[in-house]
Structure 1
Amino acid sequence: MNGLSDVRLTLQARELEQEQRTPVSLAPAWSGNLWNCFWMRLHTRRQLLELDEHALKDIGLNRSQALEEALKPFWKV
């Protein structure tokens, strides 16, 4: 390993320790309430349908996975 890799591992270990001490919130940071969460989920799922193959590949999905996610009801995670 080179010095840069050692630094990354050290930093990641510190971040993991901090995350373990920090209580986890199940609600996303952007949601003011449940309806905002539902609206954001509906909006982002619809946007999946508009992405081209290159954009889908960038986020690690294929067309069938994007379609499956986009067709889920907004209340399902």
Structure 2
Amino acid sequence: MNGLSDVRLTLHSQELTAGHENSAREANMRNAPSGLSRWGLFWHRLHTRKALLALTPEQLKDIGLTREQAREEGLKPFWRI
């Protein structure tokens, strides 16, 4: 391989890595309804996290979370993913 090919491979691998990070972020945001503005997304997170704190042990078991996991997620500020 010549030097140009090595550079292209390096750049391509960096693009793949960056793309993987972006897809992970998009996956986290995929749970919210589509078409929300930034404030709409914040409002959605705030209310769903509060609802998570109010779930009963049976409901938490149905969704596969422990009380500690639900509390950790429920107490996150709305601006954090």
Both proteins in one fold, TM over 0.5: yes
**Alignment RMSD (CA, Å):** 1.6
Structure 1 segment 38-57 matched on structure 2, within 5 A: 38-57=42-61
Q: Which consecutive unaligned segments of at least 5 residues does structure 2 have?
A: 1-22
Q: What TM-score, normalized to structure 2?
A: 0.58
Q: Would you say how many aligned residue pairs link Structure 1 and Structure 2?
A: 53
Scaled by the length of structure 1, the TM-score of the pair is 0.61
Q: Between Structure 1 and Structure 2, which shows a larger proportion of helix residues? A: 2
Q: Which has the higher contact order (CA 8 A, sep 6+)?
A: 2
- Aligned residues: percent identity? 51
Amino acid at match of 2:76: K
Deviation, 1:32, is 2.4
Determine which structure has more spread, i.e. the larger CA radius of gyration. 2
Moved runs in structure 1, 4+ residues, more than 2 A? 26-32
